[in-house]
Structure 1
């Protein structure tokens, strides 16, 4: 089961608020800035299983003649889990500074004795995605994991009603896939950096070797200008996993934990 921890951590972090299945309004980039760095810990019971650090950087690279931002995520197992199944994964995405859509994505995964890499180019002029496994046509908004995380933090969700269904389209390895997310309302939730007023979501998960048929995944995102995921909880066949925001720096706006 440990070999699934990093993939699950990455999925939880990057699938935040998705786009409506109907037309949505995306604001300009008001939620983040270069220099932002966020750290998450993933816990299995009382044990810290993995950690992911996501940061935004300026880059001189240009794509389709336009400036870009560089997003980097490093994910790794911790402590005892390094002996059970050592993981060192790195993901990178270059996104348009205005539209926040991806131009280029890479991943390098080292999971025990398994290694995997991929290089993905999003051509918005021809509407084609070129990856190591082939060329794939696409229409509309399609993202990689990292660009999805930052794009969705800027979507206008002010009109959401409880039980509204949302959808995110993303590219992974050999095709374009969809994720359905349900909005569940507002809650206060506690994480490593305090208690926050949050928006609560339920992304759909597929039963398998680590999820029960009725397993639920819940995700809480700050109900403020930062729109940062602060906590997630998912049920497994045995036990559960909790993702927790443990560090945040370089934010565009101060974090505002609830004062008690």
Structure 2
């Protein structure tokens, strides 16, 4: 469950990461889909049982990078209920991003999962195209993100020209290298969560079967089809049962979150 929790929280929170064509990736953003002070809360369920909770917030940073102001992103994930008794998880991910380009300057993670503990500190040098982590230095080209920064950057991309069935890639740094994951646009649907029913964009990433996912497992994510572009629900089948994550609260949004039905 440790790895299932980690993979699902991160993928469902940041599914839109870094696009190739047909989605244009701007170098600078004149405006953003969010503002400092936004707070999103999620609940993950295993079948009918609450397994974990996650919180994602963005605020003004007290730290400047290269003399430039930055946003500070904080993402927390923790097991809940009976899952917290049998296998305690306390994970925290932080990212500092440029306020104009939304590219990451610094990423840290602090993960406590049962008796296992892992930390990492990742610095992004976009001038020299190098990523420096605890495990070493990695060259890169183009736009590469960490998980939290990828999520906020992706919310500002123009996906209006995407066609059903089109597949694109995401690029992000994790552990010991730059990873790529293919994602397919499924279409538009109305989806119900704890806050109501919303018009959403539906996406599905490629899943590698193994100890967590079934051979034919599909991971789906629904994102509000409005100016906020926030995930309201995600679902995936695992080897035994399924995991579902849904939005339970949203505060400090830049735009109204208008439900179709409540």
Q: TM-score under structure 1 normalisation?
A: 0.96
Shift of 1:65: 2.4
Superimposed CA distance per residue, residues 12-50 of structure 1 (whole angstroms, 9 cap, x where no aligned partner): 112236413456144544210000000111000110000
Select which of 226, 241, 253 maps to 2:255: 253
Q: How many residues get paired? A: 260
Say whether residues 1:8 and 2:11 are aligned partners: no
Equivalent position of 2:19 in the other structure: 19
Q: Residues of 2 paired with 1:170 and 1:18: CA distance?
A: 7
Q: Quick check: 2:23–2:159 contact (8 Å CA) kept in 1?
A: no
Shift of 1:112: 0.3
Equivalent position of 1:145 in the other structure: 147
Equivalent position of 1:104 in the other structure: 106
User: Where in structure 2 are the equivalents of 1:29-68 lying within 5 Å?
Assistant: 29-68=31-70
Q: Secondary structure at the match of 2:64?
A: strand
Equivalent position of 1:198 in the other structure: 200
Equivalent position of 1:212 in the other structure: 214
Shift of 1:133: 0.2
User: Where in structure 2 are the equivalents of 1:164-175 lying within 5 Å?
Assistant: 164-175=166-177
Equivalent position of 1:160 in the other structure: 162
* Structure 2 unaligned blocks of 5 or more: none
Superimposed CA distance per residue, residues 83-142 of structure 1 (whole angstroms, 9 cap, x where no aligned partner): 111000110000000100000000000000000000000001111000000000010010
* Structure 1 unaligned blocks of 5 or more: none
Shift of 1:167: 1.0
Q: TM-score under structure 2 normalisation?
A: 0.96
User: Where in structure 2 are the equivalents of 1:207-246 lying within 5 Å?
Assistant: 207-246=209-248
Equivalent position of 2:119 in the other structure: 117
